[in-house]
Amino acid sequence: MDLQIGKSFLENAKDGKEGMHILKDAALEKYVKSVADKILKSDQIRYKKEFPYKISILDDDDTINAVCTPGGYIFVYTGLLKLIKDEATLAAILAHEIAHAEKRHSVKQIISSLGIYFTIYIGLTIFLGSDAANLINLGSRVGGEILTLANSRSAEAEADSTSFEYLKSTKYYPGALESFFVLIEKKEKEEGGTGPDKRIIKFLSTHPLNEERIAENAKRLRTIGNPKPTPENLFTERYRAAMERAFGDED
């Protein structure tokens, strides 16, 4: 079931549906995949053999987001890549999204949202093939659901704690997710000519953030001695070089 949903989302992206456009940059995909692979070495990831955890970059500077679909298809928006400043933050975000897939949060929400129609779609896909399933036009609906689903606070909290465990087995700064939250919170409050950054508002609509999540991440850091970010565990220069190769010097 999970793989069928993920494949449906990937096909939608390839076809340019839901406003998605895959950026064809093999070097950038390889770089992001190398970061994800470090996370996937964790012994706590249950479905690493069943899920492909394939990387795709979505060409959309106006969207700050990353999505790991059911079945392990990872989509990272260029808007996110251009916002963050170090590899540890990218690793933390990927770990968080992988945790959502591992805990099957999106599957549970999609089943609840589409109900019996979703069950019919999966049944047709498995037994009759994707062409038959498309007759009831649910493939695009499933893909659209993944983009707009708002994770519950409990799902976000579980993904936070699970991704922290993944990061502990790497050389990355394990508090990078908290740093990202602080950055998002700061940008949410920034006032510009047209008000707060609309990209941040869109991100928060699917990834609800609150003070409790930030506090819980800080608490987890204290349980392992409250390590500090350093050039060695942030890998800032390596990230900067990768982004410059992909997008040029946009500063």
Of 52-56, 84-88, 123-127, which range is least confident? 123-127
CB of 235 closer than 8 Å to CB of 87: yes
Q: Which H helix or E strand runs over 56?
A: strand 54-58
Which of 42-46, 149-153, 200-204 tops mean pLDDT? Answer: 42-46
pLDDT recorded at residue 179: 80
Phi and psi at 234, nearest 5°, equal -95, -30
**Alpha carbon 31 to chain centroid distance?**
16
Q: Where in the chain are the domains?
A: 2-247
In this prediction, residues 89-97 reach a mean pLDDT of 96
Of 57-61, 84-88, 121-125, which range is least confident? 121-125
pLDDT at 201 over 70: no
Pairing of strands 54-58, 73-77: parallel
Q: Residue 135 — very low, low, confident or very high, per pLDDT cuts 50/70/90?
A: very low
pLDDT recorded at residue 137: 46
Residue type, 202: K
pLDDT recorded at residue 222: 95
Q: Residue 197 — very low, low, confident or very high, per pLDDT cuts 50/70/90?
A: low
pLDDT at 194 over 50: no
